[in-house]
Structure formats: C-alpha cells, structure tokens
Amino acid sequence: MIQIQKNMIWLFVGMTILLFMISGCSKRSQPVGQDLGIPAIDNPVESHDDIILPKGLEWNRKKSMAIRTASFSGGLYYYSGRIEVTSLKDYMKSSMANNNWKLVGEASSGETMYAFVKPNKTCMVKISDGLVGALSSTVVELYVTVDLAAAKGLNPFGEPVN
C-alpha cells in the first residue's frame, strides 16, 4: 500500500514537471519585430510614458519600486517574459531612439546594459537571460531617474539656478 502511494506521488510529480516543460517550450523565444509597429505593453509608471517595452514582457510589481519627491522621481522596474534576447536588444535601442533618448553607453558580458539620456532624465536598461532551458525567460531591469528640479530651472533644494 505504501509503495503504491509513493509511485503515485512520483507519477504526479513527473507529469507536473513534464506539463510545465511542454507549456514553457511552446512560448519560448518569441522574436520581437524589427519595426516598431508592435503593440507595446501599458507602462505601469505613468511618468515614464516615453519608455516603451514590447508586448510579451510582464511587470514584476514585487521587485519594482518607485520614488517621487519635490525635485526627483525615478525607480527600479523589473520585467520578464519569453522574448529572444537579441531581438529585444534591437527593439530597445530603436524604441528609445524613437522616443528621443540618446544612447550614451553600452556594455556586454553575459548581460547587456545600455545607458540612455535626455536633458533631465537617465535610463539604464539591463537585459539578461534567465534560467537555462524551457523554464528560462528574458529579464529586463530599468533604472530610471528624472531630475524634476532641473526641468524647472531649480537646484535640488528648489532654489533658482543662475
């Protein structure tokens, strides 16, 4: 009787893992189109509507955080999804350029990081591949800063800049 229960548990665990792997393989590596006519996801941070991400990335609310003060806003925003890394890199560079962001730096060593700027904004985009195999997903981390005081001609203390 105990041996039958153990066999049933192992059968259930095996079937669950197999089902999970099959469903993961069917969605892996959706290439992002080269043209920017692809519908973008809704950006969860209203003040950063000039950062467009491709459909297929989901926002991780638990890992993300935002801050807003009288002179500064920004945050760390985490997304993940089953998107091909190479096409995602191309998409991000094109999308940011189309929204008037200037690429000022790029580094790659297993992960890729881009640095973009605007007159009073910065955005670091880090793209990495998650786990290996059917369970993997692409991870995008955005580090965004907006100097609200500079946009109004003020220093961080709210005093006019000469």
pLDDT at 27: 40
Fold exhibited by the domain 31-151:
TATA-Binding Protein (3.30.310)
pLDDT at 70: 82
Segments making up each domain of the chain, as ranges: 1-28, 31-151
pLDDT at 26: 39
Q: Running along the chain, 162 residues long, what does each successive block of 10 average in pLDDT?
A: 58 47 42 45 59 88 87 88 90 93 93 94 91 73 87 65 66
> DSSP string spanning 111-143?
EEEEEEEETTEEEEEEEEE-SSSTT--EEEEEE
Which residue spans within 6-69 are E strands per DSSP?
A: 58-59, 65-68
pLDDT at 115: 96
Angstrom distance (rounded) from CA 117 to CA 103: 7
Yes or no: say if 58 and 82 are a contact pair by the CB < 8 Å rule.
no
Which tokens hold the place of 135?
């369970």
Yes or no: say if 138 and 85 are a contact pair by the CB < 8 Å rule.
yes
Helix (H), strand (E) at residue 5: helix 2-27
pLDDT at 131: 63
pLDDT at 126: 96
Angstrom distance (rounded) from CA 23 to CA 120: 43
* Other beta carbons less than 10 A from residue 132's beta carbon: 7
pLDDT at 151: 65
